[in-house]
């Protein structure tokens, strides 16, 4: 499995000691579930029956690519969490299974949403290319779609926030140094910000039937909020490292005088 390979070959992070040992059964189950989710993306695509459908397969390839990348990003977040903390307690296992459930449930809705956006905004197709039947029958369908999608995003990032919160509460047992503690807080804050953006999108969509299409604009808030969080966390880490270096230098001077 890829997690086993990465766990053996990657040295960890410069500012964070990896506490996860060999890949556990929990991580193995997660890898299998993500592999199954990725398989569903391709299995749901029928084999082309003629050259026209083959051409259409490659036209729709960006939809598969975007969905694939999003699933890989979620998997990577999970991988880094377990490498950093190596937690296997009952609450962490429960949160992991909840994440897996969401990933498997939302594979098709995620693909449906990006299929709709790509065909409508990029290709200028109001309906399914195989027929004249509209994919959405009205503004109410778009409202429901964006609310369902936003609820899934909010729940997923909320679960990751709880996982990092669990690691934060066990920081002393895990032996996290001040820099690792700050990075953990930054990661938890990052998940909460993403969940908050998804919550805003859901509220906008729920406010009015005609606002469903506009609620997706809220996700553009991801970039400035995550940038702000990254800058804040980076500056805090730099201050901690400078304080540690000053303290080490002072001890060296006192040691030399002695």
The predicted model scores a pTM of 0.83
The pLDDT of residue 12 is: 62
- Tokens found for residue 102: 């969401």
**Complete DSSP assignment for 64-121:** HHHHHHHHHHHHHHHHHHHHHH---SHHHHHHHHHHHHHHHHTHHHHHHHHHHHIIII
pLDDT tens column, 38-92? 887 777 666 767 787 788 788 888 888 999 999 999 998 988 898 899 888 899 9
The pLDDT of residue 175 is: 92
Give the whole-angstrom CA distance, residue 121 versus residue 241: 47
Question: Which residues have C-beta within 8 Å of that of residue 99, sequence separation ≥ 6?
Answer: 30, 74, 78, 156, 159, 160
* Angle at the Cα of 120 from the Cα atoms of 118 and 124, rounded to 5 degrees: 110
Query: Are the beta carbons of 71 and 103 closer than 8 angstroms?
Result: yes
Question: Which residues have C-beta within 8 Å of that of residue 155, sequence separation ≥ 6?
Answer: 102
The pLDDT of residue 46 is: 67
- Tokens found for residue 140: 């109410």
Q: What is the dihedral of CA 70, 75, 79, 85, to 10 degrees?
A: 90
The pLDDT of residue 212 is: 82
Query: Are the beta carbons of 125 and 136 closer than 8 angstroms?
Result: no
- CA proximity to 61, closest of 2, 124, 115, 140: 115
The stretches in the chain having pLDDT less than 70 are 1-12, 21-24, 44-46, 48, 126-136, 248-258
The pLDDT of residue 194 is: 96
The pLDDT of residue 21 is: 67
The pLDDT of residue 126 is: 63
């Amino acid at each position: 499995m890829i997690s086993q390979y990465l766990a053996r070959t990657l040295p960890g992070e410069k500012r964070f000691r990896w506490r996860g040992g060999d890949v556990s059964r929990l991580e193995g189950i997660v890898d299998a579930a993500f592999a199954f989710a990725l398989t569903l993306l391709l299995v749901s695509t029928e084999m082309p029956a003629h050259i026209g459908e083959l051409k259409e397969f490659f036209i729709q390839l960006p939809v598969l690519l975007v969905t694939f990348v999003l699933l890989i990003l979620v998997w990577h977040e999970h991988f880094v969490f377990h490498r950093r903390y190596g937690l296997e307690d009952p609450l962490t296992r429960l949160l992991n299974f909840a994440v897996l459930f969401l990933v498997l449930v939302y594979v098709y809705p995620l693909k449906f949403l990006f299929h709709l956006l790509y065909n409508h905004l990029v290709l200028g197709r109001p309906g399914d290319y195989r027929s004249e039947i509209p994919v959405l029958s009205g503004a109410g369908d778009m409202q429901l779609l964006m609310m369902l999608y936003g609820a899934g995003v909010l729940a997923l990032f909320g679960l990751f926030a709880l996982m990092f919160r669990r690691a934060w509460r066990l920081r002393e047992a895990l032996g996290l140094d001040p820099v690792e503690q700050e990075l953990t807080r930054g990661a938890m804050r990052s998940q909460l910000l993403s969940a908050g953006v998804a919550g805003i999108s859901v509220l906008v969509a729920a406010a009015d039937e005609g606002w469903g299409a506009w609620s997706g604009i809220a996700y553009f808030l991801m970039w400035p909020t995550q940038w702000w969080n990254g800058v804040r966390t980076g500056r805090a880490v730099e201050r901690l490292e400078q304080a540690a270096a000053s303290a080490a230098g002072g001890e060296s001077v006192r040691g030399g005088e002695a």
